[in-house]
Structure 1
Amino acid sequence: MTTQIRVLLVDDQELIRLGFRMVLEAEPDIVVIGEAGDGSAAIAQSAALAPDLVLMDIRMPQLDGIAATQAIVRAHPETKVLVLTTFDLDEYAFGAIRAGASGFLLKDAQRHEMLSAVRAVHRGDAALAPRVTRMLLEHVGPELGATTPSAPDDIDDAGYRSLTDRERDVFLALAQGLSNAEIAASLYVGESTVKTHVGRILAKLGARDRIHAVILAHRLGLVDR
């Protein structure tokens, strides 16, 4: 039997939570284990239910999704956060990425896009299309590492030095916002090979996901090179 992805829904609008629940629970590998209407409740529910993934709204009363994301990621590093936003240039969404979220999803995303994002974040990939990744880097890349609590305060390049030549090629391509398929095409290897390399890169760098790896690449100055 396939292990289910346990999801906590966080949004201050009940109808939006209901719609997301209906979409997610129609899938055999996803189950919604709880809901929260604000950031404080999200933190409490995350502690009580230990979800695999939190689908987090950004703009909420009392405590917003950025503060909630930061608290959840710090207290429960095994829990992934996928933030929801109305606009793909929303500065609040970028703030959530800095706070440790593994990606963001537009509220008007298609059903298959939502399901793909949930599954991608759960398996450790970033739920960011290459276009969005590049946009993220363009707008906040120079500041990413300085404000990201999930990144170590003192990063040396020991993890980077441990990468093989091919892993460095993949790491650089990843930092530039390329998808696995694009990396595979540029390096003339199979996409499954790229996935293997990405997994090894994350392990060697101590990165929780692709977003964190991009942050580390910027802090190491690799993208500018």
Structure 2
Amino acid sequence: MSDAARPGAPGHEVGVLTVDDQASFRSAARAVVGATPGFRTLGEAASAAEALAAAEAVAPELVLMDVRMPGTDGIDTTRRLLARWPKTVVVLVSAGALDRLPPACTTCGAVAVLAKQDLRPRALIELWRRHGPAR
């Protein structure tokens, strides 16, 4: 990874958009992102429509996308987001058992699926190290 793309490198912070229909998870994600050196929250969204509008407005590098949301789910939202902004790194997050997720989670373009309870600074840094643009 080049120094310019490394979280915590001088002058660079990975911009994160959190998409989840539950305000409590968005708040928890905001706290984790804020506690992670080299990362900052750019925005939050509670639905597919809000996610696409927010991505247009803030151009996140990393999106934490809930798998299950009312209406358009995170899988379809990921497809739509990546069709428009293909360089965005999307990580699906789920409160459910990861082994019971729809198979489309692995084919929608997301780089990984993370259990919500495993979202912590170390996980964000590792995901970015593995899947960020300078991997």
For 1:116, the equivalent position in structure 2 comes to 126
Aligned residues: 124
Do structure 1's residue 7 and structure 2's residue 42 form an aligned pair?
no
Matches within 5 A, 1:167-178: none
For 2:79, the equivalent position in structure 1 comes to 70
Given that residues 55 and 82 in structure 1 are in contact (C-alpha distance below 8 angstroms), is that contact kept between their aligned partners in structure 2?
yes
Specify which structure has the higher proportion of helix. Answer: 1
Mind listing any 5+ residue stretches in structure 1 that lack a counterpart? 126-225
Q: Taking structure 1 as reference, are residues 114 and 74 closer, same or farther at Cα in structure 2, changes over 3 Å only?
A: same
Instruction: Say which structure, 1 or 2, has more relative contact order (CA 8 Å, 6+ apart).
Output: 2
Given that residues 92 and 114 in structure 2 are in contact (C-alpha distance below 8 angstroms), is that contact kept between their aligned partners in structure 1?
yes
TM-score (norm 1): 0.51
Question: 1:120, CA displacement in angstroms?
Answer: 3.0
Aligned equivalent of 2:63, options 54, 58, 61 = 54
For 2:100, the equivalent position in structure 1 comes to 90
Between 1:37-46 and 1:116-125, the stretch displaced more is: 116-125
Q: Secondary structure at 2:92's aligned position in 1?
A: strand
Question: 1:23, CA displacement in angstroms?
Answer: 1.1
Specify which structure has the higher proportion of strand. Answer: 2
Tell me the distance in 2 between the aligned counterparts of 1:83 and 1:20: 13
Tell me the distance in 2 between the aligned counterparts of 1:114 and 1:64: 22
Tell me the distance in 2 between the aligned counterparts of 1:124 and 1:102: 14
Q: Taking structure 1 as reference, are residues 9 and 110 closer, same or farther at Cα in structure 2, changes over 3 Å only?
A: closer
Given that residues 33 and 49 in structure 1 are in contact (C-alpha distance below 8 angstroms), is that contact kept between their aligned partners in structure 2?
yes
Paired AA for residue 98 in structure 2: D
Q: Secondary structure at 1:108's aligned position in 2?
A: helix
Question: 1:2, CA displacement in angstroms?
Answer: 4.4
Question: 1:49, CA displacement in angstroms?
Answer: 1.4
Structure 1 outlier segments of 4+, above 6 Å: none
Given that residues 105 and 117 in structure 1 are in contact (C-alpha distance below 8 angstroms), is that contact kept between their aligned partners in structure 2?
no
Given that residues 8 and 51 in structure 1 are in contact (C-alpha distance below 8 angstroms), is that contact kept between their aligned partners in structure 2?
yes
Question: 1:115, CA displacement in angstroms?
Answer: 3.9
Aligned equivalent of 1:105, options 77, 93, 114 = 114
Superposed CA offset, 1:103-148 (max 9, x none): 11111115223442244332465xxxxxxxxxxxxxxxxxxxxxxx
Tell me the distance in 1 between the aligned counterparts of 2:65 and 2:56: 15
% identity of equivalent residues:
32
Answer with 1 or 2: which has the greater Rg. 1
Aligned equivalent of 1:26, options 29, 35, 46 = 35
RMSD, aligned α-carbons = 1.8
Q: Taking structure 1 as reference, are residues 12 and 119 closer, same or farther at Cα in structure 2, changes over 3 Å only?
A: farther
Mind listing any 5+ residue stretches in structure 2 that lack a counterpart? 1-9
Given that residues 11 and 17 in structure 1 are in contact (C-alpha distance below 8 angstroms), is that contact kept between their aligned partners in structure 2?
yes
Paired AA for residue 78 in structure 2: T
